[in-house]
């Protein structure tokens, strides 16, 4: 491995530096978001009230979410205009637009005829795509007079992004962080507190739910489900507070489409159209943000691009789950969503890709999978870390363990193209950097990573609800 010296090096001869990166200027940041709802092959089934099994009216959600976000959740407008203040925040604070790179050194190493491009969301202040929706959500809440946002976080990516957005728009932010992450990812907590957020290990003594779990076990490791329950209880006790979610819901996926809309122009600048697009899936927000503008084109008959959604084998909602109504949280407090799920009671093994440890996926993505538009694949964490390690040495960027799933799939597609001797244009989303996830890489280097094979999933014993 390594870079072979090029002819002419060191003698002042000009090197060809074109084709490595494709940049946009701030004025190219999209002015609207793309909403896939009107282009879907069938409508999204409404959320249901678990007690009555009747659709939840959108107005009922405004006690939890800002009104505009609830409107966006059900809107069927294909393009939704972005407020100037949000666009400015994305540029001035979120550091958009983000670059698109071509992974030339990886291509050369794999000796593949495939061209590999990646959109890099790791350049944002908190190191991932999550700031794209955090800024939009903070803006609408502020405009509606809300004073405080409450959320949960597992690995800490979402909590940091919302904390940053709260700092920018002048909102208080409170984050319930699963206790296990609070203890093992101390730098994420520090980052959130630097932005002024209050961070509580969950279960905490701040809520009834939390106190109940603490009474059971004072050292309870917590779970996303418990943290969501705490955040919701907190919001319901304070009229001036609202809840904020970092994935799964339509409005969140909508806000992320700045990624794909930018990438469309950048790939155009590169003179290519992708044959295959790839993204990692936790709840589906970075995958949707990157691919939905392109999936819209395919749904309207304008392309034949393939779309590959990658998940961990330890949390296989797309590849082994069932399509049914299930709770959004483990505690069973949210409305029921129709989605691919392994069941809300599934205990996701402690893999390092914390952002992918979710039992379901976005309802819109579930429909696209059912119609064969999106192809799901799953990998074990060791092969994912191996791919990320290779990528780090060749391209210099340490991928977040979540994003590394997309890297692994992109490499596999490029190797297949080599086998078949076909020139294929592959584009994947590198949703974040892994510089705050080095503990996982430490265990990888020490040979301590474990692959988890779920032998029995709750859904195999019957639908979750
Ligand atoms: C949260 C996160 C994910 C997974 O969430 P999605 O909503 O599926 O995008 C992926 N990559 C990174 C870097 C994350 O922080």
Ligand 1, atom 2: closest residue by C-alpha: 355
DSSP 203: S
Q: Which residues of 384-393 are buried (b: 16+ CB within 10 A; e: fewer)?
A: bbbbbbbbbe
Per-residue confidence band for 2, with pLDDT thresholds at 50, 70 and 90: low
Per-residue confidence band for 462, with pLDDT thresholds at 50, 70 and 90: low
Helix (H, G, I), strand (E, B) or coil at 280: strand
- The strand pairing partners of 32, in sequence order, are 81
Mind listing the pLDDT tens digit for each residue in 154-178? Answer: 889 999 999 999 999 999 999 999 9
Mind listing the pLDDT tens digit for each residue in 24-67? Answer: 999 999 999 999 999 999 999 999 999 999 999 999 999 999 99
At residue 457, the pLDDT reads 75
For residue 353, which of 384, 309, 398, 376 has the smallest C-alpha distance? 384
> Any residues with Cβ below 6 Å from ligand 1, and which?
128, 130, 157-158, 247, 280-287, 355-356, 400, 402-403, 431-432
Residue 218, burial from CB neighbour count under 10 angstroms (0-12, 13-18, 19+): exposed
Q: State which of 280, 315, 361 you would mutate to test the pocket of ligand 1, scoring each by most atoms of that ligand within 8 A of its C-beta.
A: 280
Please state, rounded to an integer, the average pLDDT across all residues of the chain. Answer: 94
Instruction: Report yes or no on whether pTM surpasses 0.85.
Output: yes
Ligand 1, atom 5: closest residue by C-alpha: 282
Mind listing the pLDDT tens digit for each residue in 95-122? Answer: 999 999 999 999 999 999 999 999 999 9
Count CB neighbours of 237 within 10 A: 11
DSSP 123: G
The ligand 1 atom at the shortest distance from the C-alpha of residue 130 is: 15
Residue ranges and CATH numbers for the domains of the chain are 84-127+250-450 (3.40.50.1100)
Mind listing the pLDDT tens digit for each residue in 197-215? Answer: 999 999 999 999 899 989 9
At residue 362, the pLDDT reads 97
- Look at strands 425-430 and 115-120 and give their pairing: parallel
At residue 251, the pLDDT reads 98
């Amino acid at each position: 491995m390594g870079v072979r010296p090029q002819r002419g090096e060191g003698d002042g001869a000009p090197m060809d530096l074109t084709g490595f990166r494709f940049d946009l200027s701030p004025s190219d940041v999209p002015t609207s978001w793309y909403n896939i709802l009107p282009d879907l092959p069938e409508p999204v089934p409404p959320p249901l009230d678990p007690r009555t099994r009747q659709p939840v009216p959108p107005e009922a959600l405004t006690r939890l979410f800002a009104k505009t976000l609830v409107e966006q959740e059900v809107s069927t407008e294909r393009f939704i205009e972005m407020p100037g203040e949000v666009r400015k925040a994305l540029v001035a604070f979120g550091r958009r637009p983000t670059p698109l790179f071509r992974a030339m050194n990886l291509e050369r190493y794999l000796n593949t005829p495939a061209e590999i491009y990646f959109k890099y969301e790791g350049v944002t202040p908190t190191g991932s795509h999550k700031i794209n929706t955090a800024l939009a959500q903070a803006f609408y809440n502020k405009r509606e007079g809300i004073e405080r946002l409450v959320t949960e976080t597992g690995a800490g990516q979402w909590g940091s992004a919302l904390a940053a957005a709260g700092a920018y728009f002048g909102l208080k932010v409170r984050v319930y962080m699963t206790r296990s992450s609070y203890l093992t990812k101390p730098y994420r907590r520090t980052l959130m507190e630097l932005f002024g957020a209050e961070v509580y290990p969950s279960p905490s003594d701040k809520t009834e739910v939390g106190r109940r779990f603490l009474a059971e076990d004072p050292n309870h490791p917590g779970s996303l489900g418990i943290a969501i329950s705490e955040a919701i209880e907190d919001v319901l006790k304070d009229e001036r507070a609202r809840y904020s979610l970092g994935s799964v819901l339509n409005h969140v996926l909508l806000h992320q489409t700045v990624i794909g809309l930018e990438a469309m122009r950048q790939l155009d600048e590169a003179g290519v159209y992708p044959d295959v697009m790839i993204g990692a899936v936790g709840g589906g927000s970075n995958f949707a943000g990157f691919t939905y503008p392109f999936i819209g084109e395919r749904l309207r008959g304008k392309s034949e691009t393939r779309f590959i959604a990658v998940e961990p084998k330890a949390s296989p909602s797309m590849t082994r789950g069932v399509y049914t109504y299930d709770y959004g949280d483990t505690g069973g407090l949210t409305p029921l969503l129709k989605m691919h799920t392994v069941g809300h009671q599934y205990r996701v093994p402690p893999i390092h890709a914390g952002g992918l440890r979710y039992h379901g996926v976005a309802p819109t993505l579930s429909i696209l999978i059912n119609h064969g538009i999106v192809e799901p694949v799953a990998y074990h964490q060791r092969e994912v870390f191996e791919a990320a390690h290779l990528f780090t040495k060749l391209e210099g960027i340490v991928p977040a363990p979540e994003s590394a799933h997309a890297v692994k799939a992109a490499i596999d597609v490029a190797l297949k193209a080599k086998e078949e001797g076909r020139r294929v244009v592959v584009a994947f989303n590198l949703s974040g950097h892994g510089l705050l996830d080095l503990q996982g890489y430490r265990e990888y280097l020490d040979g301590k990573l474990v692959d988890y094979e779920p032998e029995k999933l709750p859904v195999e014993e019957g639908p979750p609800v």
